[in-house]
Amino acid sequence: MLKLHLDPVDTLKSYNRLEQEERGIEEDQPPTKCQLIYTGMCTSLINLVAHVLVLAIFEPFFFFMYVTVFERKTYLKNIDRYVDSLIMQVNHLSQKYVDIIRELFFGTNAKQTIEAELDHMHVAALQAEASRDDFNHHLMIYAAVFTACIMLFLIGLVVLAKLRNVYINWCRIIVDNLIIVLLIGLYEFFFFQVVVSRYKIESSTEVNYYILNKITSETSILSDA
């Protein structure tokens, strides 16, 4: 009785050979120059879009989680410095200018309405804060939508490359992007700490002069006459 012995490895090789023959591809046929160029272009495009995706993820995270928090603290600190300087100057102003300042903020009946006006301004400030938070939340959503669009575009490129049987060196792409995000992150952090955070805008003296000069040039409220 004849026994048939099948080697699984030989069977798999035969199957692959038949599949290649059906596609019109010889087993040992080297890739053509056009195929190499096409593969290189696809890989470069996917790698480039992956770089953009990494930046689209890193930049909003760095901005909303670090830059905005730092800038808000710096902004409030500058306001405190200006107000402290203004308070020291107000303490040395004559009653005439104090009355003018009160009237600017609270109207003619300043003494009777200061507490009520402060309560009103507090409510308005809370509403403005809620509106600001809602607006900034929408900005975060926009950033997330942009990132999602880039991610979908990258997925589309990967699917297209897969359908075209283009070999993608994912190991190299992942390593390249990890190195890029590390280097960009370090650069962004140190640049922000060394340059941006130390950048000086207007001093309180310059702001005082600007405000006083604008008021005196456009109104007669502070005139001595």
Q: How confident is the model at residue 94 (pLDDT cuts 50, 70, 90)?
A: low
Within a domain: 47: yes
DSSP structure class, residue 93: S
Within a domain: 212: yes
Within a domain: 15: no
- In the predicted model, what is the mean pLDDT of residues 105-118? 64
* Nearest of 50, 41, 40 to residue 178 by alpha carbon: 50
184-208: per-residue pLDDT in tens?
889 988 888 888 878 777 777 777 7
- Token output for 23: 């596609």
- Token output for 144: 């997330």
**Full-model pTM:** 0.64
Count CB-CB contacts under 10 A for residue 147.
19
Within a domain: 127: no
3-class DSSP state of 170: helix
- In terms of Cβ atoms closer than 10 Å to its own Cβ (0-12, 13-18, 19+), residue 154 is middle
How far is residue 37's CA from residue 89's CA, in Å, rounded to a whole number? 73
* Nearest of 131, 135, 111 to residue 123 by alpha carbon: 131
Within a domain: 209: yes
Within a domain: 149: yes
Q: Residue 51 is part of which domain span?
A: 32-97+140-218
- In terms of Cβ atoms closer than 10 Å to its own Cβ (0-12, 13-18, 19+), residue 128 is exposed
Q: Quote the number of domains for the chain.
A: 1
29-83: per-residue pLDDT in tens?
666 767 677 777 888 888 889 889 988 988 888 888 888 888 888 888 878 877 7
* Nearest of 88, 94, 120 to residue 107 by alpha carbon: 120
Within a domain: 64: yes
Place of tokens 């200061």: 114
Within a domain: 169: yes
Q: Lowest mean pLDDT: which of 72-81, 118-127, 139-148, 213-222?
A: 213-222
- Token output for 121: 């301004």
